[in-house]
Amino acid sequence: MKKTKIFAAIGGVGLAVLSIFLIAADHIDSPSVAGTTTDIADLYGFEGSSPDNTVLIATVQGPLTPGDVTTNATFDENVLLEFNIDNTGDFKEDLVIQAIKRGDSMYFFGPVAPEQQGLNSIVEVSGARHSVKISTSGEVETTDEDGMKFFAGPRRDAFFFDFNRFNKVVSGEVAPEGFLPADQASDFFENLNVLAVAVELPNSMLGTAPDHVGGLVGIDGLPPAYNVWVSAKRKQ
């Protein structure tokens, strides 16, 4: 009886977990966006080369294999990439920095308070506008204006992960061993690329950071922090 129960548990749990695969930070994360031009791969946010600056980087359309796939990958003029910054602690965007392609360039608007918050946006043309020519694999183009830096183009994927092993771990296929030791593990993304959009700007443009959300759940002592997320929105 106990044995039957365990097999039933394996069956039930195995099926439930088998569908949990394809993790890669946010690369190819859901059926409706995987392989499309709105598919976000990663979001990074960190202190810039000057401590007075913040860097925001979003990567999309990954993973791209080297060669033609990377060379031919392009940003979509119908897709608005949006860095959202909550500086009041309510997890609603108080400021946005938008990026959208036109011609051979990426145009940036903001940081600016959006006319509307939430799932739908317009391009906030009242915000400060900058642009940078989209880089190629071999030639890096950056813009440095008004204290802000901008970049858009293909880059090596910085994300590292033994993706193939993970899929076996979560499916139960390699239970109970789990992940591999370092001499056998393999970084799936080591030789892959993404399209990246990068902005570096003075912290002063982002307003005063709110109390860290950790304080709400008993994690005390963390410094004030903006809440940041990236969204990809398609023209309707």
Partner 1 sequence: MKIYKLSMIFVAVCASLLFVQCSDDDDNVIDVATCNDGVQNGDEEGVDCGGSACEPCAEALDFSGNYSQEDIMGRPGINTVFSGSGEVKNNFNTTTVTGRADFTSIFQNTLETYHDVYAVALGADPADVNYVPNILGLDAPTFATVLAEFDALQVAPNAQTTYFDPSTGVALTGRTLNDDVIDISLILMFGGGDINNLNFDGTEGSPLLISDSVGFGDRQIGDFPYLETPNN
Return the structure tokens found at 176: 């109970």
Q: At what angle do helices 163-171 and 2-18 cross, to 10 degrees?
A: 140
Alpha carbons 138 and 185: distance in angstroms, whole number:
31
Smallest separation (angstroms) from partner 1 to the CB of 25: 4
Spatial contact of 93 and 234, defined as CB atoms under 8 Å apart = no
In whole angstroms, what is the distance from residue 163 CA to residue 135 CA? 28
Neighbours of 230 (CB within 10 A): 22
Give Rg (Cα) of the chain: 21
Residue 168 main-chain phi, psi, to 5 deg: -75, -30
* One-letter amino acid of 88: T
d(CA 100, CA 79): 7
Cβ of residue 111: shortest distance to partner 1, in angstroms?
Answer: 13
Q: Which is nearer to partner 1, 14 or 146 (CB)?
A: 14
Q: State the nearest-atom distance from the C-beta of 168 to partner 1, in Å.
A: 11
Shortest separation between residue 75's beta carbon and partner 1, angstroms: 14
Minimum CB–partner distance for residue 204 and partner 1 (Å): 9
